[in-house]
A and B are shown apart, each in its own frame.
Chain A
Amino acid sequence: MPEEFEPIAPGHSACAGCGSTQIVRWVLKEAGPNTIVVNATGCLEVFSTTYPYTMWRVPWLHVAFENAAAAASGVEAALKRMGKKAHIIAFGGDGGTADIGFQALSGMVERGHDVLYVMYDNEAYMNTGIQRSSSTPLLAWTTTSPAGKVIPGKQQPKKPVAWIIAAHGAPYVATASIAYLTDLRKKVRTALSIKGPKFIQAIQPCTTGWRFDPSLTVKLARLAVETCYFPLWEMRNGDLRTFRLTYIPKEKKPVEEFLRPQRRFRHVLQNPDLLERIQKWVDENWERMLKLHEAAVNQKL
């Protein structure tokens, strides 16, 4: 077997147990060396490129926090004009993607640029020290959604970013987890075989922000899926008939198993009512997706 392309070098300064390097490594392994990376400001950009060092073995560009999608649009236009072909992959965290960079992302998708945008979703602004984002889940503790005596953590559920991008009619949208590498790699492969804007939202357990033991990163990435907290799915062209869950757990685990190792949910685990609220959100979300999946598979849409 030929030696596989290693897209990132060791020596970066990510936290021990950071899931983002795993997302990046496996996405780029699938993409291969003929790839250009555009990176939004965030943890990944900071820990991977402390001048004069770099982690990246592919051409890499960082411009600002909210514009990875716009910068990638420019890269794509330039390549087209210069008659060169390469995969363009943008990486952004949930802040750079779901919040401050959301407009630029929507613009890139609407204009139809041939870019794969990968959101590494660690569910808060981790680079600035764990502040809430729109992708932070219901009731989670962050430094700006503290578990207070009156307000127990974030009061809003997680923003369904991938759905919103799918609603643009993007040719390919998927969710992924590093605990399911075959699924993740297949989705990257599929995405890169399609021309136009593609979007993959990868759940990224964050040892610092979620507050768990660094040895548990992959386990949490698995539990997020096994509890149906973060379902793995894909959809093409915003067409519900193409919606597929790509992994259906044999036995749906209680969300408590996903929450228990994470100290950001400590207050939830001490309060059955709060735990019930999260379980209810997970159940409703999963039921909706499962119904959609079955209807799509049975061609009832």
Chain B
Amino acid sequence: MVVMTLEGNEAAAWGARLARPDVIAAYPITPSTHIPERLSEWIADGIMDSEMILTESEHSALSACVGASATGARVFTATASQGLALMHEILHIASGMRLPIVMAIGNRALSAPINIWCDHQDMMSQRDTGWMQFFAESNQEALDLILIAYKVAEDRRVLLPAMVGLDAFTLTHTFEQVDVPEQEEVDRYLPKYRPVHAFLDPERPITQGPLGTPQHYMEFKYAQYEAMNRAKGVIVEAMEEFGRAFGREYAPLVPFSPGGEIVLVTMGSMSGTARVFVRGARQEGESVSHVKVVAFRPFYHSKLAELLAGAKVVAVVERAFSYGSVGPLAQDVAYAMHRYGIKAKLANFIVGLGGRDVTLRDFSEVLETSKRILKGEEDPGVFWLNVAKEEVLKAEEVIWNA
């Protein structure tokens, strides 16, 4: 193990490097451009032994990954935002073909208006593509989760692709101390990929990517459903094995200061801010806890319900939204609560879209609102924080009256 000072992109690049991918295909996009840059440098210097395909688009980058993975190679790519959206079609194909591709995402807002800064809308918009989805809180987690993602993705009980999100700029361009494992340690944790189901070998010709008629299509989808359910157990195993191998503990859901009447639920880099806030609030006598969601797909509904036992208000604070509904994280939390009989009230706080900072002040507002909900002084629902609501409505009125 070597301690290095790395920005999030470099940490993710190190994760990829240590996983020894056979093929990398990538197209640069802010804020994850430094990942293919760093990998290209290592390959150019002979430090890394991978085939790099610098495609003409993200769509082709993931298509090349699918081609390489279907041939039997371990592959890696990285993208963000518009690039991930451009890959959308092929995301479904990668998971439908059960190809264990791993991808790093610099979580960035989607256009319009065009914006290069952080939110989670890019990965949330790909929620239903059949990829496992992990969110890193720190640069260390970005590196580690990439290794864990490969371990799970290539497990024969799973065979599904995985994406690891790291927040734009807050992580991708921010330097932190990162423990970089030794190659030999990683090789022990993550042995060479040996495909048993997907290969292109003239000695053993198989057909991959056929037409699935109504007579067969649904069975393919059911197989994905079962694989994603099995992934829940495999992820926990892989995280525990990671802890034993590298001394860093991971879990799909991470509780902090449990037992509070109000429980904050977050993902990504704002989880650190949330914990700082909860620690301070506890000292001031507030009854507040926190749960960090690391694995969003698969979602650990029953485990979350366990962590929410005894809560009176669950405050889901998230950097994405489903227009005409509620935030995507809140939807899953609501299902977990309903399914496992958690009687608490659910409030959804929308923060930090397009890179607006998520600060202790936001969490104070979350707590104050949650307390009013607890007392019955306010209806739970969707709350957009730190946004100039009146100005927006005034501007809209200009159009209504035109």
| Known pairs A58-B205, A73-B55, A81-B50; A63 contacts B66 (CB<8 A) | yes
Residue of A nearest to B56 (CB): A107
Whether A74 and B23, one on each chain, are in contact in the complex, defined by CB atoms closer than 8 angstroms, is yes
Q: Which residues of chain B are within 8 angstroms of A62 by Cβ–Cβ distance?
A: 208-210
**Docked complex Cα distance between A106 and B213 (Å):** 32
Decide yes or no whether A179 CB sits under 8 A from chain B.
no
Q: Give the residue of A49, A61, A106 whose beta carbon is less than 8 angstroms from that of B200.
A: A61
Mask: chain B, 350-371; 1 = CB below 8 Å from A; 0 = not: 0000000000000000000000
Decide yes or no whether A70 CB sits under 8 A from chain B.
yes
Whether B53 and A103, one on each chain, are in contact in the complex, defined by CB atoms closer than 8 angstroms, is no
**Docked complex Cα distance between A215 and B60 (Å):** 39
Decide yes or no whether B212 CB sits under 8 A from chain A.
yes
Q: Give the residue of B50, B71, B207, B209 whose beta carbon is less than 8 angstroms from that of A75.
A: B71
Q: Which residues of chain A are within 8 angstroms of B211 by Cβ–Cβ distance?
A: 45-46, 49-51
Q: Which residues of chain A are within 8 angstroms of B55 by Cβ–Cβ distance?
A: 70, 73, 107, 111
Q: Which residues of chain B are within 8 angstroms of A35 by Cβ–Cβ distance?
A: 202
Mask: chain A, 22-60; 1 = CB below 8 Å from B; 0 = not: 000000000001111011000001100111101011111
Decide yes or no whether A1 CB sits under 8 A from chain B.
no
Q: Which residues of chain B are within 8 angstroms of A56 by Cβ–Cβ distance?
A: 205, 207
Mask: chain A, 99-125; 1 = CB below 8 Å from B; 0 = not: 000011011001100000000000000
Of residues 68 through 100 on chain A, the ones whose CB sits less than 8 Å from some CB of chain B are: 69-75, 77-82, 84, 86
Decide yes or no whether B73 CB sits under 8 A from chain A.
yes
Of residues 105 through 126 on chain B, the ones whose CB sits less than 8 Å from some CB of chain A are: none
Whether A75 and B57, one on each chain, are in contact in the complex, defined by CB atoms closer than 8 angstroms, is no
Decide yes or no whether B54 CB sits under 8 A from chain A.
yes
How many A-B residue pairs have C-beta atoms within 8 angstroms? Tell me. Answer: 160
**Docked complex Cα distance between A38 and B200 (Å):** 10
Decide yes or no whether B241 CB sits under 8 A from chain A.
no
Q: Which residues of chain A are within 8 angstroms of B199 by Cβ–Cβ distance?
A: 59
Q: Which residues of chain A are within 8 angstroms of B56 by Cβ–Cβ distance?
A: 103-104, 106-107, 110
Q: Which residues of chain B are within 8 angstroms of A38 by Cβ–Cβ distance?
A: 67
Decide yes or no whether B140 CB sits under 8 A from chain A.
no
Whether B71 and A63, one on each chain, are in contact in the complex, defined by CB atoms closer than 8 angstroms, is no
Decide yes or no whether A66 CB sits under 8 A from chain B.
yes
Whether B60 and A107, one on each chain, are in contact in the complex, defined by CB atoms closer than 8 angstroms, is yes
Decide yes or no whether B168 CB sits under 8 A from chain A.
no
Whether B54 and A61, one on each chain, are in contact in the complex, defined by CB atoms closer than 8 angstroms, is no
Residue of B nearest to A67 (CB): B63
Whether A36 and B202, one on each chain, are in contact in the complex, defined by CB atoms closer than 8 angstroms, is yes
Q: Give the residue of B61, B97, B200, B216 whose beta carbon is less than 8 angstroms from that of A51.
A: B216
Residue of B nearest to A71 (CB): B67
Decide yes or no whether A301 CB sits under 8 A from chain B.
no
Decide yes or no whether A16 CB sits under 8 A from chain B.
no
Of residues 53 through 102 on chain B, the ones whose CB sits less than 8 Å from some CB of chain A are: 53-57, 59-61, 63-73, 75, 89-90, 93, 97
Distance (Å) between the CB of A106 and the closest chain B CB?
A: 7
Whether B202 and A70, one on each chain, are in contact in the complex, defined by CB atoms closer than 8 angstroms, is no
Whether A82 and B22, one on each chain, are in contact in the complex, defined by CB atoms closer than 8 angstroms, is yes
Whether A51 and B213, one on each chain, are in contact in the complex, defined by CB atoms closer than 8 angstroms, is yes
**Docked complex Cα distance between A46 and B97 (Å):** 17
Residue of B55, B60, B89, B213 with highest tally of chain A CB at under 10 A: B60
Residue of B97, B200, B212 with highest tally of chain A CB at under 10 A: B200
**Docked complex Cα distance between A33 and B90 (Å):** 29
Residue of A nearest to B208 (CB): A61
Q: Which residues of chain A are within 8 angstroms of B205 by Cβ–Cβ distance?
A: 56-60
Residue of A39, A107, A111 with highest tally of chain B CB at under 10 A: A107
Decide yes or no whether B276 CB sits under 8 A from chain A.
no
Whether A74 and B66, one on each chain, are in contact in the complex, defined by CB atoms closer than 8 angstroms, is yes
Whether B23 and A67, one on each chain, are in contact in the complex, defined by CB atoms closer than 8 angstroms, is no
A-B contact pairs, 15 of them (CB 8 A): A36-B71, A59-B208, A60-B208, A63-B97, A63-B209, A67-B63, A71-B64, A74-B63, A75-B68, A75-B70, A75-B71, A77-B53, A82-B71, A104-B57, A104-B60
